[in-house]
Structure 1
Amino acid sequence: MQVTETLNDGLKRTYAITVTAAELEEKVNAKLAEARPEIEMKGFRKGKVPMPLLKKQYGQRLLGETMQEAIDGAMSEHFEQTGDRPAMQPQVKMTNEDWSEGDDVQVEMSYEKLPDVPEIDASAITLEKLVVKADESAVDEALAQLAENAQDFNDRAEDAAAVDGDQIVIDFLGKVDGEAFEGGAAEDYPLVLGSGSFIPGFEEQLLGLKAGDEKAVEVTFPEEYGAEHLAGKAAVFDVTVKAVKEPVAAAIDDELAKKFGAEDLDALKGQIRDRLEAEYTGAARQVMKRALLDALDGLVSFDLPPALVEAEAKQIAHQLWHEENPDVHDHNHDTIEPSEEHQKLAERRVRLGLLLADIGQKAEVEVTDQEMTQAVMAQARQYPGQERAFFDFVRQNTQMQQQLRAPIFEDKVIDHIVAGAVVTEKEITKDELQAAVEALDEE
């Protein structure tokens, strides 16, 4: 077997691999000899079938297997000897397309190798860790929001008209083409006006009504409505208003605290303070992470595999196009060509991705089974009632496993680098932190 380099240009490599006919025949004969003792054939005792007959019967199939094994073996040996790591799956093709049995097999293997990533000195990196304390005003604001969420509704005066935010209690009967439809009727239904829980246009027509009023509400079901037999159809709802109630925020006291599982108001305030500071810490981490990535991006420079950059640029362009065109949910659209800005962002992502992967590998950073289980459980909560099916899907899908593992690995590598960097703390206000987070989206 011969492996000859034919291209060495930057990170691009091409090799010509030749597997001789003699090698193939030797390997096929070895396979037949190994299997012969167990082979039975009419007219011959077990293990006594002549080799020429075995070769005639099984030779073609074994030849194909042997060719593939030989090529795979040559590739594995090549990567082991050179230390090259292909950025993407190598491209392999036969170059003697007129090959026939008895000829040498000639194959061309092309790939882009991963670059050698330079070492970095984490101690040369200076970072600022933002610290925000949850002050009383922030806690009071959160308490007021909880009280609003736990609000009750009290009856308005008998002749009071319903306004946005009021709860009205109604009976209704919906009809399409004069016929009532399943699920289109209810009695004593409490509806908060402005909640958007009914068909668009329904709640707005109830504004200004009073207890005892009746109204025929005319609406059209959305084209994308879940029930196909109603989608896009015009409907009339006969509505009777039975009560109009105004919202009343719950009192901020021990009773409110107990509604949210706390022993008393002081305990609830403590929980809120802990939650707020955890949120601040998470936001501050994102700011420091961006600063670290910016610092790393300025510290290193090395060749990037063009195929990786191209694939990343296309993905960025495609994703941003869908964000700008949220009504398009499929991929039946023209090809999105990456811009120069997409290309630069792709280069940054690929460079930082390779750098973090290299640092993590050298530092022996690993994602534990427990961390993976927690990540899967967090994702599974998005599919209530289908958690088991989601677990099975992840277990059988290596690509999904990698998608869950990658951000965990990256965060652990970030922590590893931060541990070696020079970090100073700076206490700021909640508003200053919010401004710093918003600035991340603008960059």
Structure 2
Amino acid sequence: MNVTVEPLAPCKKLVRVEVETKSVDEAFETITKEFQRQASFPGFRPGKAPREMVLRKYESDIQDEVKRKLISQAYKKAVEEQNLEVIGQPDIEEVQFSRGQPLQFNANVETAPEFELPEYRGLLVKMEARTLTDADVDRALEALREPKAGFQKMDRAVQTGDVAVVNYTGTCEGKPITEIAPTAQGLTAKSNFWVETPSKSFLPGFGDQLIGAKAGEKRTVTVDFPADFVTPQLAGKQGVYEVEVVEVKEKVLPPVDDNLAKAYGAEDLAKLRDGVRKDLENEVSYNRKKSARDQVVRGLLDRVNFELPESAVGQETRQVVNNIVQDVARRGGSRADVERQKE
């Protein structure tokens, strides 16, 4: 096999490959026999049909299989022989292929950037002097209470930290919100909707205005939509909500005891505390090493200059756009909102 590599750009190469005639003919013979063993023709037992009959019917399929197999094997071998660090899939162009002749094809490939590693010894790295304390463990245990919280119905007014179960309808500029933003149905009306006080994930200031209200009470809540609100039609405007409080629920956190420990699969509180401490120690160690590694990488990047492969840049761009799409979708945005965010 003959292989030549021609640089096209800093991260692009043209790999020319020629597979000798003998290998091509051997591949044709092997694939033809495989087709012959599996072929079934009237009047012949499976695998006993004459070679000429198999070739007449399956010649095109045999050629396709031989080409696929030879190009795949030759390309892989060529990359290994030339020590190419290929990124992505090659663009294969057939030049010559037939029985009794060498196979010739070209592969346009993108490769990893080539550069000389600068001197890294002596790079300054700042290591955080972080000591784990009992207070850190206590805070972590407190955080474990939140996912196991329950909610108890209360016969009193809404207080800070409660959840208000509400029905609401919203308007903007005197019109139902869907008339201004047709896709914002969730902002127009909801029944039995849980609102935290203060609001953490819903509209800013919504939950705060429910503090002091009791079940059965109705209130008018106003919301100023931010200038960068996910639904552009509402950005910078004011929403007015007619809200009925259906129920008041108090969040009840479990005590830090053996029962909490068992809820997380630990034998008792002491075992849970030991496990939490170990996890925190691992986190501190990981963050310290990651910080050092990131500082070294930044230091090296400041000392080198190279072009990136187009496919790598494109993939990163698509990932950023995909993150934007998912973020907008999570916040209830429409397809039009997504397109605007892309721009």
TM-score (norm: length of structure 1): 0.45
In the alignment, what sits opposite 2:309?
A: 306
Cα distance in 2, alignment partners of residues 144 and 69 from structure 1 = 59
Change (3 A) 1:281 1:309: same
Cα distance in 2, alignment partners of residues 70 and 240 from structure 1 = 71
Shift of 1:91: 0.8
Aligned pair count reads 298
Residues 310-351 of structure 1, C-alpha deviations (whole Å, 9 max, x = no match): 3255247536866996855769627968xxxxxxxxxxxxxx
Cα distance in 2, alignment partners of residues 33 and 265 from structure 1 = 70
Residues 123-167 of structure 1, C-alpha deviations (whole Å, 9 max, x = no match): 54443321223568x569949967x979999x99xxxx9474276
Shift of 1:12: 2.5
SS at match of 1:108: strand
Tell me if 1:78 matches 2:78: yes
Q: AA paired with 1:165?
A: T
Tell me if 1:287 matches 2:291: yes
Change (3 A) 1:201 1:58: same
In the alignment, what sits opposite 1:111?
A: 109
| Maintained 8 Å contact 1:215/1:238 | yes
Cα distance in 1, alignment partners of residues 247 and 280 from structure 2 = 44
SS at match of 1:131: coil
Residues 266-291 of structure 1, C-alpha deviations (whole Å, 9 max, x = no match): 99998887776666555544433332
Tell me if 1:215 matches 2:217: yes
Change (3 A) 1:3 1:35: same
| Maintained 8 Å contact 2:40/2:46 | yes
SS at match of 1:88: strand
Cα distance in 2, alignment partners of residues 130 and 13 from structure 1 = 44
**118, 126, 129: which one aligns with 1:128:** 126
Change (3 A) 1:164 1:284: farther
In the alignment, what sits opposite 1:91?
A: 91
SS at match of 1:112: strand
- The residue correspondences of 1:3-402 to structure 2 (distance < 5 A) are 3-5=3-5, 7=7, 9-17=9-17, 24=24, 27-33=27-33, 36=36, 41-44=41-44, 49-94=49-94, 107-115=105-113, 118=116, 124-134=122-132, 138=135, 142=139, 162=157, 164-165=159-160, 193-194=197-198, 206-209=210-213, 215-217=217-219, 237=244, 261=261, 280-281=284-285, 283-298=287-302, 301=304, 303-311=306-314, 314-315=317-318, 318=321, 333=339
| Maintained 8 Å contact 1:87/1:305 | no
Residues 14-34 of structure 1, C-alpha deviations (whole Å, 9 max, x = no match): 134456888756633443346
Cα distance in 2, alignment partners of residues 20 and 284 from structure 1 = 55
| Maintained 8 Å contact 1:94/1:106 | yes
List gaps (5 residues or longer) in structure 2.
170-189, 223-229, 231-240
Q: AA paired with 2:298?
A: D
Q: AA paired with 1:291?
A: Q
Shift of 1:62: 0.6
Shift of 1:65: 0.7
Shift of 1:72: 1.8
Change (3 A) 1:291 1:45: closer
Cα distance in 2, alignment partners of residues 304 and 152 from structure 1 = 56
Shift of 1:5: 4.6
Change (3 A) 1:143 1:282: closer
Cα distance in 2, alignment partners of residues 249 and 45 from structure 1 = 77
Change (3 A) 1:329 1:141: farther
SS at match of 1:90: strand
Cα distance in 2, alignment partners of residues 26 and 270 from structure 1 = 66
Cα distance in 1, alignment partners of residues 38 and 267 from structure 2 = 76
Identity of aligned residues (%): 19
Cα distance in 2, alignment partners of residues 58 and 202 from structure 1 = 72
| Maintained 8 Å contact 1:89/1:111 | yes
Change (3 A) 1:24 1:218: same
Cα distance in 2, alignment partners of residues 266 and 38 from structure 1 = 68
SS at match of 1:128: coil
Residues 225-274 of structure 1, C-alpha deviations (whole Å, 9 max, x = no match): xxxxxxxxx88747588xx99x9999xxxx86567559999999988877
SS at match of 1:42: coil
Cα distance in 2, alignment partners of residues 39 and 295 from structure 1 = 64
Shift of 1:92: 0.8
Cα distance in 1, alignment partners of residues 252 and 46 from structure 2 = 91
Q: AA paired with 2:65?
A: E
Shift of 1:56: 0.8
Change (3 A) 1:144 1:305: closer
Q: Aligned-pair RMSD on alpha carbons?
A: 6.1
Residues 74-118 of structure 1, C-alpha deviations (whole Å, 9 max, x = no match): 21231232122212211112357xx99999765331112335565
Cα distance in 2, alignment partners of residues 76 and 47 from structure 1 = 32
Shift of 1:42: 3.4
Question: Which structure has greater helix proportion?
Answer: 1
